[in-house]
Amino acid sequence: MKKVIIPTKLDKEVARILGDAGFEVIQLPEKPVLELARENADAEVIIVRSEKVTPEVMDALPSLKLVVRAGAGYDNIDTQYARRKNVDVMNTPGANSNAVAEEVVALALAAYRQVVPADVSTREGKWEKSKFMGRELTGKTVGILGLGHIGRLLARRLSGFEVTVLAFDPVLSTDMAAQLGVKLCTVEEIFAQSDIISLHIPENDSTRGMVNAKLLGLMKKGAMLINCARSGIVDEDAIRAVKAEKQLLFCNDVYKKDAEGPKSVADIADVMLPHLGANTKEANFLAAKRAAEQTVAYFAEGVTTSVVNKGVPDGMDEKFQSLASLLAGVSAAYLGEDAQIRRIETSFYGKLHAFGKWMLAPITAGIAKDFDPYLGAADAMEFLKARGIEMKDREVDNEKHYGESITIDLITNSGNVSVRGTLTESHLMLSRINNFDKIYLELSGNNLFVEYGDTTGIIGKIASLLGANAINIIDIRAPQDLERNHSLAVIKTNVPVPAELIEQIRDQIKAVKAFSFSC
């Protein structure tokens, strides 16, 4: 009998399903995770909500095979250490989505109608109707950053309020946006035009602190910002600096640490909750049910669809997954952040053709920073389908002698891009962009790409501008497209090239394309 330990207040449905399937279930929500693990060292499964599963916890469970996070985010679990110990980590994506979407609506209404201070005032025996003049949600413009499970449900829940929904999602197609009833916009347009902005994006190196002084400065007077995603996305000091002048409303449910004690946003939050997004009976039940069902299917049928830290199959070098993700990233950067991708086409040459499905998640992560590359092919297909993006893996002609290489094409309504890459002595190499062949650039460090009409002296001008800004050139590649009479300068630099300098370079040499890509 396989033993499952559950150190969390998860709905009893989890124990019922697992018990009926023959598992021994130890559910003690009041006991510390490590203590419960040490007392049940023979357990093969641990199911958690927000409890941390650290290397110490996993070391206390020598028979551990599976960790299940009953919810979507799993940053409370050391997935890399789990992989090293050959332990699979699962999540239950979507189980909490409706609860979070409804919480956003609740926060917006509470802030607009001043529910919390009015309740306190009335309980004190006061009658301050004029003080608590409110606003209506109906007819407002709502901006949603991130159209994943939660963002799409939020758009649907808001439809009854007859709002206009603006949305930003880097890989959502125009057709899918139309089906969802939202208008795709840039982040800047959303902050400038929305009455309410709700964040539903992950926290990573590209999103940390993204809601900064520049974006907040674009907001309407009296606009509202709601953060039920991750605390690090928002620059709290930037809100503090403009809150009074802009009369901003700020609603918050996420913090750097889920624990008792003072909260850094207490002075700027109009409504703040103790991370209650997923805290509904319905979400708890659904997360429990999915966690149990996935555990049963994992052991009974070998179903690993929701494993988020998968390794690679025998015979495949995992560096090709990194290569696929970087090639997709370069392709997306070439098209620009506003490009609406409608189809991805791939070609895997040599032995790689057998491993195409293992590349799909890394490719998806390369074009969409909010998709986790450790998810599987089925998750990637669902993610792309939800955004109206088709996926096609082409048959290959190995008579072309490309060796073990990868070609990725991104197709949009306004333009396409095709890139190819391979491994050379274990280095990730970019070999082609469109008709610019034999680039042979190692995908590492900071890289500036500038495409321009072929003429003399351009590289010298770019180098001069970089030098004037104390940026050193490490390497240069300069292939030509003779059919179009275009050249491509690919310059590896010691530091990232700032966006302002890229624009300056673009203007001075009248570049067709100019973008940076860091690996």
Q: Rounded distance, CA 442 to CA 93, Å?
A: 35
Beta bridge partners of 272: 252
Q: Is the dihedral of CA 294, 156, 276, 82 positive or negative?
A: positive
Q: Rounded distance, CA 249 to CA 399, Å?
A: 62
Q: Which of 464, 472, 516, 519 is nearest to 495 (CA)?
A: 472
H or E element that contains 59: helix 55-59
Q: Which of 295, 286, 269, 346 is nearest to 107 (CA)?
A: 269
Q: What are the chain's domains?
A: 3-95+281-301 (3.40.50.720), 97-272 (3.40.50.720), 312-411 (3.30.1330.90), 435-519 (3.30.70.260)
Tell me how far apart the terminal alpha carbons of the chain are, to the nearest angstrom: 46
Looking at the chain, how many residues does it have? 519
Nearest 5 degrees, angle CA 422-CA 447-CA 451?
90
Cβ atoms 346, 418 nearer than 8 A: no
Q: Which of 142, 117, 72 is nearest to 272 (CA)?
A: 117
> Does the global pTM surpass 0.85?
no
Q: Rounded distance, CA 189 to CA 172, Å?
A: 16
H or E element that contains 449: strand 446-453
Task: Write the single-letter amino acid at 501.
Answer: L
Q: What is the pLDDT of residue 37?
A: 97
Cβ atoms 491, 447 nearer than 8 A: yes
Q: What is the pLDDT of residues 246-280, one digit of tens each?
A: 999 999 999 998 889 999 999 999 999 999 998 99
What residues in the chain have per-residue pLDDT under 50? none
Dig out the tokens for 379 from the structure. Answer: 């998750």
DSSP annotation of 388: T
Q: Rounded distance, CA 347 to CA 353, Å?
A: 8
Contacts of 65 (CB under 8 A, 6+ apart): 44, 45, 87, 88
Number of CB atoms found within 10 A of residue 163's CB = 20
Q: Rounded distance, CA 379 to CA 360, Å?
A: 9
Q: What is the pLDDT of residue 374?
A: 66
Q: Rounded distance, CA 340 to CA 413, Å?
A: 7
Cβ atoms 323, 421 nearer than 8 A: yes
Q: What is the pLDDT of residues 23-78, one digit of tens each?
A: 999 999 989 999 999 999 999 999 999 899 999 999 999 999 999 999 887 889 99
For residues 497-512, one letter each, b for 16 or more C-beta atoms within 10 angstroms of the residue's C-beta and e for the rest, the string is beeebbebbbeebebe
Cβ atoms 13, 288 nearer than 8 A: yes
C-alpha 119: how far from chain center: 37
* DSSP secondary structure letters along 310-357: ----TT--THHHHHHHHHHHHHHHHH-TT--EEEEEEEE-GGGGGGHH
Q: Rounded distance, CA 43 to CA 166, Å?
A: 48
Structure-token match 């018990």, residue found: 19
Q: Rounded distance, CA 7 to CA 30, Å?
A: 7
Task: List alpha helices for 125-280, DSSP H.
Answer: 149-158, 174-180, 187-193, 213-218, 236-246
